[in-house]
Structure 1
Amino acid sequence: MLKTASRSTRSRAAAGIAAAAALVLTLAGCGQDSTSPQEARGRAATEIRAKATGSPAAVDCAKAKCIALTFDAGPGPHTPQLLDILKEKKVHATFFLLGRKHVDTYPDTVRRAAAEGHEIANHTWTHRRLDQLKPDEIRSELDRTQQAVKALTGRAPTLMRPPQGRTNDEVTAASKELGLSQVLWSATAKDYATTDSALIRKRILDQASRDGIILLHDIYDGTVPAVPGIIDELTERGYTFVTVPQLLAPGTPEPGTLYRP
């Protein structure tokens, strides 16, 4: 049990996330086509569109050795410490936020993350498997978090990550309707199952690759302490940390499209 989070929060999140690592190689199944960061960049014009939200300057990932650091299922009690680390390291991340008991419980943390240049994205309202829901339920799960984030930051997310990476045609249709691209991952640490920060760090470093998307969860005790070592080692290896939109630039995320390294 987390010392800093309720039993219900941990059990709910863990139950939904426990199968994530096993799905990494098959996530885009269920008949869903996916687009890689390289393909997204190749389809775009050469001129990078500047954002009006004060997000960090664009990086040319066609030349740089880029990798995206992403965090799911927050914010939580550990998130302010994580933001301190990212600020110190001058790294911007992408946060796929849960609505109930997260966005609505830590509004100041959401505002801070957005103000500091991190990409704020959608991870549904209650972490239900979207591929098991009816179309109106899928839309509600996504739209409630859209509206909650917009109310706090002034901007609705343009990215979403389906719980467990599970998607289907109905999820794609709802995402497209709400202006959301679907984003999966290439590296995960199973941090829902261990508090061993050294192990979390090792697992991510072992899976890191160019144009990769790292999945971690800032709601677990062992994760945030592992982040400085992950950043330092990958920086030493020549990686540049970017947000997911930067990874796709000069392409821009297309609503409904499934992105997977």
Structure 2
Amino acid sequence: MPSLTTKMTNTRSRFRGTAALAAAGALTLALSGCAKLETTAPSSARGAAATAQARAAFGTADCRRAKCVALTFDAGPSEHSARLLDILKEKQVPATFFLLGRHHIDTYPELVKRMAAEGHEVASHTWTHRILTESTPDQIREELEHPNREIARLTGRRPTLMRPPQGRTDDTVHDICRELGMSEVLWSVTAKDYRTDDSDLITKRVLDQVSRDGIILLHDLYDGTVPAVPGIIDALKERGYVFVTVPQLLAPGKAVPGEVYR
């Protein structure tokens, strides 16, 4: 039987190989080239909410006034996630984790529990990283429902947010997310950490792109990412940013099932 280290090395290799072949085109499509994809900005979600709801809905900051940013991590938990959680706890920074199922949730269930217990938002990145736009409706439902069941079993709370693999989504995905009570979350900042283990480069890419209401995409799966996180946090705090989860970024609004946020 292969060791856990060997299994995780193989998992990273498979995931990295898929990303290296398809991620560049997919990210371009999702973030700039898909003219028909309608997304909602965090500021628009906040503006749609009634003022009377504000105080009850807020987490750590009022992002209508504060310069907020959301750290999000895809494709964990992994062997690096415990260290990441230590860093976030030390820095007092909440994050949103879009978790993979197979070889991740089922390999590190205690880390899923810890994420929820320490105040992070636990969300879905599907069970097997299947490209949803190339899947049947039944396959899409299973990719979303399987991690939902496992996360709910481990944390007591069913996810309401998901991030489609490679950011690929369409009307069928929107409709099924609406049916399942889930909202889609894309990103506005990417370090492309699936292409490099250079922590300094990852840090620079984030800092060069970030602006108010930014949703930062990182992967705690890769070796260079977690070492970059302290520098990213410290630099953005120096610039006056406040870190929040994605739901806190939208507050006093709430994510609407079937809608896409970026």
TM-score by length of 2: 0.92
Q: How far apart, CA to CA, are the structure 2 residues paired with 1:248 and 1:77? A: 30
Flag the 1:70–1:101 CA change in 2: closer, same or farther, 3 A: same
What's 1:237 paired with? Answer: 239
| Partner-residue secondary structure (3-state), 2:70 | strand
Flag the 1:65–1:24 CA change in 2: closer, same or farther, 3 A: farther
Q: Which residue among 48, 55, 61 is the counterpart of 1:43?
A: 48
Root-mean-square deviation (CA), in Å? Answer: 1.8
Q: How far apart, CA to CA, are the structure 2 residues paired with 1:250 and 1:21? A: 34
Question: Deviations along 1:128-185, whole A, 9 cap, x unmatched?
Answer: 1100000000000000000010000000111000000000111111111111100000
Q: Is the 8 A contact 1:16 1:163 kept in 2?
A: no
What's 1:159 paired with? Answer: 161
| Partner-residue secondary structure (3-state), 2:36 | coil
Q: Alpha-carbon deviation of 1:74?
A: 0.2
Q: How far apart, CA to CA, are the structure 1 residues paired with 2:141 and 2:55? A: 29
Superposed counterparts of 1:85-104, under 5 Å? 85-104=87-106
Q: Which amino acid aligns with 1:32?
A: L
**Identical-pair percentage:** 63
Flag the 1:75–1:50 CA change in 2: closer, same or farther, 3 A: farther
- The structure with the largest helix share of the pair is 2
Q: Which amino acid aligns with 1:170?
A: T
Q: How far apart, CA to CA, are the structure 2 residues paired with 1:111 and 1:17? A: 27
Q: How far apart, CA to CA, are the structure 2 residues paired with 1:225 and 1:89? A: 14
Flag the 1:212–1:23 CA change in 2: closer, same or farther, 3 A: farther
Q: Which residue among 168, 171, 190 is the counterpart of 1:169?
A: 171
Task: Kindly indicate whether residue 57 of structure 2 is the aligned counterpart of residue 27 of structure 1.
Answer: no
Q: Is the 8 A contact 1:131 1:168 kept in 2?
A: yes
Q: Alpha-carbon deviation of 1:73?
A: 0.2
| Partner-residue secondary structure (3-state), 1:251 | coil
| Partner-residue secondary structure (3-state), 2:218 | strand
Q: How far apart, CA to CA, are the structure 1 residues paired with 2:24 and 2:87? A: 25
Q: Is the 8 A contact 2:27 2:166 kept in 1?
A: no
Number of matched pairs: 254
Q: Is the 8 A contact 1:68 1:247 kept in 2?
A: yes
Stretches of structure 2 that go unaligned for 5 or more consecutive residues are: none
Superposed counterparts of 1:93-242, under 5 Å? 93-242=95-244
Question: Deviations along 1:176-212, whole A, 9 cap, x unmatched?
Answer: 1111100000111111111111111111111111000
| Partner-residue secondary structure (3-state), 1:95 | strand
Q: Which amino acid aligns with 1:82?
A: L
Q: Alpha-carbon deviation of 1:41?
A: 0.6
Q: Is the 8 A contact 1:58 1:249 kept in 2?
A: no
